[in-house]
Amino acid sequence: MPRSKKVELRLPLKLTAAQRNVLAELRPRLTARLKLDEPNARMAEFTVAELAAIKSKSQAAMNKAGNGVERRLMRFILEAADSAIGESQSLPPEQTVFQFKITVLESHPPIWRRIQVKDCTLDELHEHIQTAMGWTNSHLHQFIVDGQRFGDPELMEEDFEEMGYADSTTTRISTIVPKDRPGFRLNYEYDFGDSWEHEVLFEGVVRAGSKVKYPVCVEGARACPPEDCGGIWGYADFLEAIRDARNPEHEEMLEWIGGYFDPEAFNPARATKSMRKGLPDWRRFF
């Protein structure tokens, strides 16, 4: 985990002690980062998603603020956050990366990954999701963005035109993800039988690290479910079976999975390595 922290890119804000105290009240979860016990102005760093939340909270609180001093403090915080977001969005494309949080829907506790990738096609984003999560690209997939389906024409075959797909192999992230809207969501479905649905949450555009090789898995939690286990509900049954020696399917499921499975196991460095290695080029075999 320490290794993942080094590549989590954040944007700096210089805030006075009073401004930091106000911000801590607005966003208590940021308190540890705000150095409230230190005097004078101090730098604090935030992700684009955090800055967007700060903007929203500051605007709402400013509308309710009773006195001028409090309003001025909140206005400064709002404008500083807005300026930092604007600066990140005005950078040349080659100096930016897109940050996404991918979560397997209906997973409790959640199975998720946070990744940073350069602008690429949706087909390449599919590859980044597969390798970051730990899937094996053994089944069909699709993206759904604002009701529009995106897929690979070679894989979808006759369904491509019938179902009104757009081409995921030519559509780039930058053409469908609004850079000024952290919080924008895409839906990614893998394996139409088991139907593994993923929320792909756009958290913002951030400055690319000069010494960072992309793509990167910044952080995440929990192991990828086994392929062909029956979707999210089948996965719950699978976990119940391998945990309980009295379960009639206990031995069978353990043998099927190879003797051991840890649902909490996840390593962002290994996920990053898998992302950079990529998937085998299946088109070479056809």
93-222+266-285 belongs to which homologous superfamily?
Answer: MM3350-like (3.10.290.30)
Mean pLDDT of the chain: 88
pLDDT in tens, 31-65: 888 888 888 888 888 877 788 888 888 888 877 76
Q: Which amino acid is at 25?
A: E
Question: What does the pLDDT read at residue 187?
Answer: 98
Question: What does the pLDDT read at residue 211?
Answer: 84
Question: What does the pLDDT read at residue 67?
Answer: 67
Question: What does the pLDDT read at residue 227?
Answer: 96
Counting runs of H as helices and runs of E as strands, what totals does the chain give?
Answer: 11, 10
Q: Does residue 282 surpass a pLDDT of 80? A: no
Return the axis-axis angle of helices 48-64 and 68-89, rounded to nearest 10°: 150
Contact by Cβ (8 Å): 117, 98: yes
3-state SS, residue 138: coil
Could you count the other beta carbons within 10 Å of the beta carbon of residue 126? 24
Question: What does the pLDDT read at residue 152?
Answer: 95
Residue 8 binned pLDDT confidence (cut-offs 50, 70, 90): very low
Name which residue leads in pLDDT, 1 or 106.
106
Question: What does the pLDDT read at residue 285?
Answer: 53
What whole-number distance in Å separates Cα of residue 198 and Cα of residue 186? 8
**Helix locations, the chain, DSSP H:** 2-6, 17-26, 48-64, 68-89, 122-133, 153-156, 159-162, 173-176, 231-243, 250-257, 268-277
Name which residue leads in pLDDT, 210 or 18.
18
pLDDT in tens, 68-111: 787 888 888 888 888 877 766 666 777 889 999 999 999 999 99
Q: Does residue 222 surpass a pLDDT of 80? A: yes
% of the chain with per-residue pLDDT over 90: 57
Would you list the domain boundaries of the chain? 2-89, 93-222+266-285
Residue 7 binned pLDDT confidence (cut-offs 50, 70, 90): very low
Tokens 């190879």 locate to: 258
Beta strands in 175-242 (DSSP E): 185-190, 196-207, 216-221
What whole-number distance in Å separates Cα of residue 141 and Cα of residue 190? 4
Q: Which amino acid is at 156?
A: M
Question: What does the pLDDT read at residue 165?
Answer: 95
pLDDT in tens, 124-176: 999 999 999 999 999 999 999 999 999 999 999 999 999 999 999 999 999 99
Task: Give the mean pLDDT of 249-269.
Answer: 96
